[in-house]
Structure formats: structure tokens, C-alpha cells
């Protein structure tokens, strides 16, 4: 993921900016008149680059200046202007009008208000990169996408230290919050829970600064996910409930009900609570026109029915309600098979495997076959949730620990865990 945001500041050409502003041109309108990008105007005025000869001719025409005057503006630096200001005749200091602002300074202040260290084109590119990370996540995985996403976050933070227009700064803050949130999610999927907590704290701060409630709710859902995969089910439920309290009727609340509250309550043995959370999630889906298909697990989009059904199935596994697990996995299976998501396929298989082992007439053969299939489809791009559920399935099979087929599955699981890709997500807490 390349750095698309340019370099540092050099010699500022404030005279050029003042002339432009004095004629009523914003950076954007001036860029259109000269035939360049707005970011190019910013680089000219900050002194980062110099216009090309053919561009100087267009500048001269638009600003109504002679070639010599344009050359003088392009040579001028902020230091030269301050030096010239210091050489003003002394009688001006005693003038009765000296308390008034200098017109040139007013225009310069206007220029500063219009300055931005990122243009609209670059901002759109940044937002497109965020969307691409979401779209590619389930194919490339956190191990591959995490480092370039972290570099992009650092670039955006450098930009936040500079000047932007208010509307641009809002979009930049939102992109920064999304990147931190995505990195928090990726860190959870690789077992880096302390790092995930730090990323989520940053994302929540940025989302709060711009009053983006839906994004705040999403971050609380990700915090809940982190607690869940550390087996801290009480906090997983509390984080989801806190996020949902911000916007209880928002489409984002669907994720918190299904992925956060219902699953945590299932692990805590609260059947009534899990039932209520699943029911509320389904009721919210009915209220909104949401695509029922399987969205990427890391998406900022609201959960549709497929995601709710998959999470409902997971919630009912520890409650021993095999009938409901099979009902919801049956509902979600067509969407899972159509989606390009090996993780979802593996997780659904593992949920079914655990459910059929928990029922009275346990089906060991089916459970082991599903477990082996889950390990196979997630061999190259594993995530923490698959590792954890495969481990739980292995624990459930220990009732038949001496059976050859159980011993064989244990050997397969050990081999799978020994793969470098799996070791990278199996136990980190950094």
C-alpha cells in the first residue's frame, strides 16, 4: 500500500497565495482555472515544488500578471516577507490607523484558512483504500493485510498533525477511526489482544470527536469480540450492551445483539438472555432494508440475516440446543457456500460438529469429519476464532479419547497447529 500523501513543507510562497485569494480564488477554483489538481496548488504555495514553465504561463494569465511579477512571487519565501515587513518606515508605526489590519495580512490569513495538506483526490483515494481493505480481508487475512494497514494509519496520523478544511478534517478523522478499528479487529483475529485494545481505544476517541455514533457502536462491538475470544464473557456482554445503549435502534445494534450479547450470554448459560438478544436482532433486521447475504466479517455495514443466523447458531452451541444450531446453520449454509469466505465455512462446520457432540445421541463420526474439513479450508489463512473452536471441539472429543479416529483427529489438529500461519495467531497477547 503506497504512500500517496506527498512530502514535507519547504519555502512558503505566501505572496502567490495572497494574490490568488485577493482575486477571489479558492485553491480548488484556482486549480480548475490553471488546469491542475488542488493538491498541486497546495504544493506550489507551500514551496514543496515549483510550477513547470507551461504552468507559469497559465498562472500569469489567470492572475493577470507579467512574467516578471510571477517570477517574483515564485521566488518569494515567508522569511523574505517577514524581513520586508520589518523594514517598513517608522512613521507607519505611529499612524493613527496602525491598529487596523493590513489588507495583505487579512488575505494571507484567508489563505491559511483555505490551506489543506490533503486534496480531495487524495482523500478519495484514502477512503477507497479503506473500502478495499474490507473487501479483501477474508481472502488475504490479517497476517497479510495488517502491516500495510498499520502503515496507512501512520500516514493518516501524520496528515492529522497538519491543516485541513473542516469538512476535509471530518473525513480524515473518520478514515483514521476506521483504520484503527480495522486494525483492532485484525489484532483480535491474530491473538494480539493488548494491541487490539489500544487500537480500539484510539478508534473510539476519533469516532467520538466527530460524533459518528454508528462508528462508535461498531468499535464497542469489536471490543466485545476481543473480550469474547479471551473467554471474558461478562465483559464481552457488557461492551456490547454499552455500545448498543448509544443507539439501541440503529442497524449497527444488530451486530452487537447477535455477535456480542447473544454469544456471550450463551457461554454464560443464560438461555433466556440469548433468546432475547437473538429475537431483538431479528426484529431490527425486519425494520430495515438490509441485504440478507453474508457481508465480510470486518465490514462496517450492518449485519444481515446470514450473519445473525451464523451468530445465533454459535450462541446456542454452549447451551446444548442442537435443534436451534442446526436450524440456523441450515438457514445460513446457502449464503456461506455462495460467499467467498473460507472462515465462515469453517466456523459453521465447527459449530455443527460441536452441536452434534453435545446432543444425547452424539454423532462422533460426523463431528470429526466436519472438524477435519474446517481445518482443511483454513489451512492457509487461519484466524483466532477457528483456532479456538477447533480447540473446543478437540476437548469435547475426549470422551472418546482412546478411539483411533479421535486419536487421528488429535494428530491432524496438532499438525495444523504446527503450521507457521496457525502459530502466528494461536497465543499472542501483545
124 and 44 housed in the same domain: no
Angular region, 35: left φ>0, alpha ψ -120 to 50, beta rest: left
What's residue 126's pLDDT? 95
User: What is the distance between the alpha carbons of residues 68 and 228, in angstroms, rounded to a whole number?
Assistant: 69
Residues 349 and 428 in one domain: yes
Q: Which of 4, 262, 301, 265 shows the shortest CA–CA distance to 155?
A: 4
Residue 236 maps to a domain: no
Residue range 344-361: mean pLDDT, rounded: 92
Mean predicted confidence (pLDDT) in 199-209: 97
The cell for 152 is 496507512
Cell digits of residue 75: 521566488
Nearest-CA neighbor of 178 among 267, 259, 298?
Answer: 298
Range of the structural domain that residue 140 is part of = 120-211
Using pLDDT thresholds of 50, 70 and 90, give the confidence band for residue 363.
very high
Q: Please say which residue of 115, 131, 158 terminates a domain.
A: 115
Both 207 and 124 in one domain: the answer is yes
Residue 396 gets which letter from DSSP?
H
Q: Per-residue pLDDT averaged across 349-372, rounded?
A: 93
Give a yes or no: residue 169 inside a domain: yes
Query: Does 89 have pLDDT greater than 50?
Result: no
Distance CA 394, CA 377 (A): 17
The CA distance from 35 to 47, in Å, is 19
In a 13 Å sphere around the CA of 129, the CA atoms on its Cβ side amount to 24
Q: Are residues 67 and 125 in the same domain?
A: no
> What pLDDT score does 93 carry?
47
Please check whether residue 261 lies inside any domain of the structure. Answer: no
- Asked if residue 128 and residue 43 are part of one domain, the reply reads no
Residue of higher predicted confidence among 45 and 308: 308
Asked whether residue 365 is domain-assigned, the answer is yes
21: CATH: 1.10.260.40
Domain termination site, one of 193, 211, 229: 211
Q: Are 71 and 134 found together in one domain?
A: no
Cα torsion 400, 404, 405, 406: sign: positive
d(CA 425, CA 389): 13
For the residues 351-361, what does the mean pLDDT come to? 92
231 phi and psi, to 5 degrees?
60, 25
In a domain, 408, yes or no: yes
State whether 416 and 346 are in the same domain.
yes
Give residue 96's pLDDT: 52
Instruction: Write out pLDDT tens, residues 114-148.
Output: 677 888 888 999 999 999 999 999 989 999 999 99
Number of domains in the chain: 3
- Which comes out higher in pLDDT, residue 76 or 398? 398
Domain identity same for 430 and 346: yes
Residues 351 and 426 both lie in one domain: yes
Domain end, chosen from 153, 179, 211, is at 211
When mean pLDDT is compared across 262-266, 290-294, 377-381, 384-388, the lowest value belongs to: 377-381
**Mean pLDDT of all residues in 395-417:** 93
Q: Based on the fold, state whether residues 426 and 349 are members of the same structural domain.
A: yes
- Alpha helices, DSSP H, located in 288-338: 305-316, 322-338
Residue 2, pLDDT > 80, answer no
Q: Does residue 314 lie in a domain region?
A: no
403 shares a domain with 350: yes
Say yes or no: 362 and 423 in one domain: yes
66 assigned to some structural domain: yes
- Count of beta carbons in the 10 Å neighbourhood of residue 83: 10
Asked if the structure places residue 286 within a domain, the reply is no
Amino acid at each position: 500500500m503506497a504512500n500517496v500523501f506527498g512530502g514535507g513543507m519547504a519555502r512558503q510562497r505566501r505572496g502567490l497565495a495572497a494574490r490568488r485569494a485577493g482575486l477571489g480564488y479558492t485553491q480548488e477554483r484556482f486549480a480548475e482555472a490553471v488546469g491542475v489538481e488542488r493538491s498541486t496548488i497546495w504544493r506550489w504555495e507551500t514551496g514543496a515544488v515549483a510550477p513547470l514553465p507551461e504552468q507559469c504561463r497559465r498562472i500569469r494569465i489567470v492572475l493577470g500578471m507579467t512574467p516578471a511579477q510571477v517570477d517574483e512571487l515564485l521566488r518569494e519565501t515567508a522569511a523574505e516577507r517577514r524581513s520586508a515587513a520589518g523594514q517598513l518606515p517608522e512613521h507607519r508605526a505611529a499612524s493613527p490607523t496602525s491598529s487596523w489590519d493590513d489588507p495583505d495580512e487579512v488575505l494571507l490569513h484567508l489563505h491559511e484558512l483555505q490551506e489543506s495538506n490533503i486534496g480531495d483526490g487524495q482523500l478519495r483515494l484514502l477512503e477507497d483504500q479503506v473500502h478495499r481493505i474490507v473487501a479483501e480481508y477474508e481472502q488475504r487475512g490479517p497476517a497479510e493485510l495488517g502491516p500495510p494497514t498499520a502503515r496507512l494509519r501512520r500516514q493518516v496520523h501524520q496528515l492529522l498533525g497538519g491543516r485541513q478544511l473542516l469538512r476535509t478534517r471530518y473525513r480524515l478523522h473518520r478514515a483514521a477511526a476506521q483504520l484503527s478499528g480495522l486494525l483492532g479487529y485484525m489484532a483480535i483475529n491474530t491473538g494480539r489482544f493488548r494491541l487490539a485494545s489500544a487500537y480500539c481505544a484510539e478508534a473510539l476517541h476519533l469516532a467520538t470527536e466527530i460524533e459518528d455514533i454508528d462508528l462508535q457502536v461498531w468499535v464497542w462491538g469489536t471490543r466485545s469480540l476481543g473480550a469474547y475470544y479471551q473467554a471474558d464473557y461478562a465483559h464481552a456482554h457488557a461492551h456490547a450492551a454499552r455500545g448498543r445503549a448509544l443507539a439501541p435502534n440503529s442497524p449497527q445494534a444488530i451486530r452487537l445483539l447477535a455477535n456480542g450479547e447473544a454469544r456471550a450470554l450463551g457461554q454464560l448459560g443464560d438461555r433466556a438472555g440469548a433468546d432475547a438478544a437473538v429475537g431483538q436482532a431479528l426484529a431490527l433486521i425486519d425494520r430495515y432494508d438490509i441485504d440478507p447475504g453474508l457481508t465480510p466479517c470486518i465490514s462496517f455495514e450492518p449485519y444481515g440475516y446470514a450473519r445473525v443466523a451464523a451468530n445465533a447458531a454459535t450462541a446456542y452451541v454452549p447451551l446444548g440446543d442442537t435443534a436451534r444450531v442446526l436450524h440456523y446453520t441450515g438457514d445460513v449454509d446457502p449464503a456461506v457456500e455462495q460467499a467467498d469466505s473460507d472462515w465462515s465455512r469453517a466456523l459453521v462446520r465447527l459449530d455443527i460438529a460441536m452441536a452434534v457432540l453435545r446432543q444425547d445421541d452424539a454423532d462422533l463420526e460426523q463431528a470429526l469429519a466436519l472438524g477435519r474439513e474446517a481445518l482443511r479450508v483454513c489451512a492457509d489463512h487461519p484466524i483466532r476464532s477457528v483456532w479456538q473452536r477447533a480447540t473446543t471441539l478437540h476437548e469435547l472429543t475426549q470422551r472418546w479419547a482412546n478411539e483411533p479416529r479421535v486419536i487421528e483427529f488429535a494428530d491432524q489438529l496438532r499438525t495444523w497447529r504446527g503450521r507457521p500461519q496457525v502459530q502466528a495467531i494461536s497465543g499472542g497477547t501483545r
